[in-house]
């Protein structure tokens, strides 16, 4: 079910990419990609109290205390993060970044709590519904008014997440323990300590994944970023299998004391992710260039070439995601931190070196170096973990 729901999310997201390229062109698409990248960074910071730490603490702390901590923390993180971003961006972006990042955090905290309780269907619905609603809202607006402005794109996010949260809240409140007290200091400390340690790794990893956006925006402009972001959206859709397997595997390992089974399951699912991702890559490579131009419009002729350049790194990450979630589940966050920092250092070194002479192709090569370097580090760490596990 998780794979099916993620597939629908990917299709909805792909529909939004197509809609944005056709309506706003490469420059408009570039602006959207940059704002969404900013929001995503804030969401990762919010996940220090509303992300995987909710899954980790769901069996340990009362739900009401977890949710209170998550929502209050996310409000202030969203506020401060949005204020910082507008210091070097457009002040008009503030409300989009603040509102969307906070609503995403509220929805994430509820979804992750249900995942921590192994309520996979509820988790799937909470993660699936927003993207589908956003796509339907924009599609309906386009059909009825024949006009969609850039701000409408973000207003759809407001409505979608608000609707999902209001629909899911009654069910959550029924499960809540009757308590009016604020969370205890030790509970708050535990939630943030685990969350910060874990999300620091994802924060560095995401900066690594999206650092190219900021370099391209600064060095090549919004139009080039629009083209590159489409290629990224297409190739990262291959991670759907890896992400689905990783989410379920993370929950499995957290609730298991059988280290032999955890190691064997990680190995099997990593191989499965590799095989399925490889099939998806071959299918993508067979799509002719003119199909990409037809779908996304004029100005996106380079998308096919860029997707081919991005494939090696995408495959490496599709496999190493499983190893990363294994280490997160056993609380070996130091390994994830070192992996993320290694990839970030590679990006910082090679992006400016390759971007100017080779432009977008150079960005692809730099990302490959970063992805492969960090993945190999995880492969070696997992191999060592297998050796030290007592069978």
pLDDT at 280: 92
Least confident of 4-8, 83-87, 195-199: 4-8
Are the C-beta atoms of residues 350 and 369 closer than 8 Å to each other?
Answer: yes
Q: Is the pTM of this model over 0.75?
A: yes
Q: What does the alpha-carbon distance between residue 263 and residue 111 come to, in Å, rounded to a whole number?
A: 27
Q: What does the alpha-carbon distance between residue 305 and residue 294 come to, in Å, rounded to a whole number?
A: 15
pLDDT at 380: 95
Mean pLDDT of 248-272: 85
pLDDT at 204: 87
* 111: Cα within 13 Å, side-chain hemisphere: 22
Domain coordinates of the chain in residue numbers? Answer: 1-183, 212-391
Q: What percent of the chain clears pLDDT 90, i.e. is strictly above it?
A: 52
Task: Work out the mean pLDDT of the chain and round it to a whole number.
Answer: 88
* 237: Cα within 13 Å, side-chain hemisphere: 21
The SS3 assignment for 60 reads: coil
179-213: per-residue pLDDT in tens? 556 778 888 888 898 888 778 877 888 888 889 99
Mean pLDDT of 52-81: 88
Residue 311 CA from chain centroid, whole number: 18
| pLDDT(369) > 90 | yes
Taking alpha carbons only, the member of 238, 385, 202 closest to residue 317 is 238
276-334: per-residue pLDDT in tens? 999 999 999 999 999 999 999 888 999 999 999 999 999 999 999 999 989 888 878 78
Mean pLDDT of 346-366: 95
pLDDT band per the 50, 70, 90 thresholds, residue 178: low
| pLDDT(381) > 70 | yes
Q: Any idea what DSSP says for residue 108? A: H
b/e map of 153-176 (b: 16 or more CB within 10 Å)?
A: bbbbbbebbbebbeebeeebeeee
């Amino acid at each position: 079910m998780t794979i099916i729901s993620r597939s629908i999310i990917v299709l909805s997201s792909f529909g939004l990419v197509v809609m944005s390229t056709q309506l706003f062109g490469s420059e408009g698409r570039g602006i959207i990609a940059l704002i969404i990248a900013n929001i995503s960074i804030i969401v990762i910071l919010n996940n220090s109290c509303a992300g995987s730490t909710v899954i980790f603490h769901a069996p340990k702390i009362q739900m009401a205390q977890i949710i209170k901590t998550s929502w209050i923390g996310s409000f202030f993180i969203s506020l401060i993060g949005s204020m910082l971003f507008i210091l070097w961006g457009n002040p008009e972006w503030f409300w989009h970044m603040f509102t969307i990042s906070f609503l995403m955090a509220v929805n994430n905290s509820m979804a992750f709590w249900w995942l921590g309780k192994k309520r996979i269907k509820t988790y799937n619905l909470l993660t699936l519904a927003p993207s589908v609603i956003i796509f339907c809202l924009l599609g309906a607006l386009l059909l009825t008014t024949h006009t969609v402005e850039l701000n409408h794109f973000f207003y759809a996010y407001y409505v979608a997440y608000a609707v999902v949260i209001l629909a899911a809240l009654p069910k959550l409140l029924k499960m809540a323990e009757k308590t009016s007290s604020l969370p205890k200091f030790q509970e708050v400390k535990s939630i943030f300590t685990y969350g910060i340690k874990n999300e620091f790794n994802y924060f560095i990893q995401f900066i690594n994944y999206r650092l190219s956006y900021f370099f391209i925006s600064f060095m090549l402009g919004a139009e080039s970023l629009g083209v590159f972001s489409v290629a990224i959206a297409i190739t990262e859709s291959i991670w759907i299998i890896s992400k689905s397997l990783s989410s379920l595997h993370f929950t499995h390992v957290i609730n298991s004391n059988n280290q032999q089974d955890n190691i064997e399951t990680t190995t099997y699912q990593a191989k499965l992710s590799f095989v399925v991702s490889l099939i998806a890559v071959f299918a993508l490579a067979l799509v002719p260039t003119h199909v990409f131009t037809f779908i996304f419009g004029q100005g996106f002729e380079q998308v096919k070439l860029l997707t081919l350049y991005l494939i090696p790194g995408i495959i490496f990450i599709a496999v190493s995601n499983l190893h990363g979630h294994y280490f997160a589940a056993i609380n070996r966050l130091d390994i994830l931190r070192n992996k993320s920092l290694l990839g970030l250092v590679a990006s910082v070194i090679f992006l400016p070196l390759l971007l100017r002479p080779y432009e977008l192709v150079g960005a692809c090569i730099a990302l490959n170096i970063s992805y492969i370097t960090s993945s190999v580090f995880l492969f070696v760490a997992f191999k060592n973990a297998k050796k030290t596990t007592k069978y």
